Amino acid sequence: MPDNKGHMIGPGGASVYQNGSKYYLVYHYYDSRDNGYPNLQIRKINWTSDSWFTLDPPIVP
């Protein structure tokens, strides 16, 4: 899970979804720029050759 970063506060509630051979991390956070309004963020998961993962930039900002 990403930590608090900039306007993103309290990211959590993460789930991993698989669509065919692609994996996605889906989670919520609270936006400090928008009076703490909750938002959804989706990021594609990439797997390294030694089975670690990296996250692409958000699909949903």
Q: What gap in Å lies between CA 6 and CA 17, rounded to an integer?
A: 26
Residue span of the structural domain in which 50 resides:
8-55
10-residue mean pLDDT series, the chain (61 residues): 70 92 93 87 95 90 61
- Give tens-digit pLDDT for 2-17: 666 677 778 888 999 9
How many structural domains does the chain have?
1
Residue 61 belongs to a domain: no
Decide if 2 is inside a domain: no
Q: Examine residue 27 and state whether it is found in any structural domain, yes or no.
A: yes
Does residue 16 lie within any of the structural domains?
yes
- 44 Cβ contact list (under 8 Å, min separation 6): 22, 23, 24, 25, 55, 56, 59
Question: What's the pLDDT at 27?
Answer: 92
Q: What is the pLDDT of residue 11?
A: 80
The model carries a pTM of 0.77
- In the prediction, which pLDDT does 60 show? 67
Whether residue 1 lies inside any domain: the answer is: no
